[in-house]
Chain A
Amino acid sequence: AQTVTQSQPEMSVQEAETVTLSCTYDTSENNYYLFWYKQPPSRQMILVIRQEAYKQQNATENRFSVNFQKAAKSFSLKISDSQLGDTAMYFCAFMKHETSGSRLTFGEGTQLTVNP
């Protein structure tokens, strides 16, 4: 079974600064995907970024980037130039590679607050 651990229940950052959210996971799988989801107060689950385990290059989406360390089973999210709208709960998630559908295993989340 897979497990995902987010060790920071809460974090805060000043607007325009950079913040890094931590995530570690445990799996015996070799092919898998990792995700960061954002959940604002509206409760909607929004995909922030996705990483395929077979790719060595770290994924980047505008101000969001990851540091994927496969051997260490670490998958941190860096948010640059933080904006007030980034305030949300952030969830790290793992998905095993399957030819058909597969479940997501989520961490417990990190509540990020961006202060003006």
Chain B
Amino acid sequence: NAGVMQNPRHLVRRRGQEARLRCSPMKGHSHVYWYRQLPEEGLKFMVYLQKENIIDESGMPKERFSAEFPKEGPSILRIQQVVRGDSAAYFCASSPVGRVGYTFGSGTRLTVV
């Protein structure tokens, strides 16, 4: 039973490019969460999704960031026109319906140069 799979593990983008981060939840998990960890800081909630629905995006920056969790395929966190301040580790986690407890992926480290 594979865990939460995130790819790529490392991503380098130039300023102004787009970054696409992928997350495949654990089998049987229908809830997906994205968190961002800036250097030397804790994880900050960004968005919570269920299949085809955004449940809570209160932690997402209003511009340039979007997330989706389609009926088929992985969840995608998209960052348009990246800036140096977007450099961080982005973690995805998943959980099953009706149960407490997350499983985290290994994260994607985004570096904007």
Q: Which residues of B contact A85 (CB under 8 A)?
A: none
Docked-complex contact A101 and B42, CB < 8 angstroms: no
Tell me, rounded to whole Å, the shortest Cβ–Cβ distance linking A30 to chain B. 16
| Total A-B pairs, Cβ < 8 A | 53
> Of A11-19, A40-48, A56-64, A65-73, which binds chain B?
A40-48
CA A108 to CA B42, docked complex, whole Å: 4
Closest chain B residue, CB of each to CB of A106: B42
Docked-complex contact B45 and A95, CB < 8 angstroms: no
Q: Which residues of A contact B41 (CB under 8 A)?
A: 108-109
Docked-complex contact B101 and A47, CB < 8 angstroms: yes
Docked-complex contact A106 and B44, CB < 8 angstroms: yes
Residue from the list A43, A97, A109 in contact with B106, Cβ < 8 A: A43
Q: Which residues of B contact A33 (CB under 8 A)?
A: 100
Tell me, rounded to whole Å, the shortest Cβ–Cβ distance linking A61 to chain B. 14
Q: Which residues of B contact A47 (CB under 8 A)?
A: 101-102
Decide yes or no: A99 and B98 within 8 Å by CB, A43-B89, A44-B106, A106-B42 being known contacts: yes
A74 at the interface (CB under 8 A from B): no
Tell me, rounded to whole Å, the shortest Cβ–Cβ distance linking B36 to chain A. 11
Can you sample 9 A-B contacts with CB below 8 Å? A33-B100, A43-B107, A44-B104, A45-B104, A99-B98, A101-B48, A101-B95, A108-B42, A109-B41
Enumerate the 5 nearest inter-chain pairs by beta-carbon distance, A residue then B residue, closest first.
A45-B104, A106-B42, A101-B31, A103-B45, A106-B43
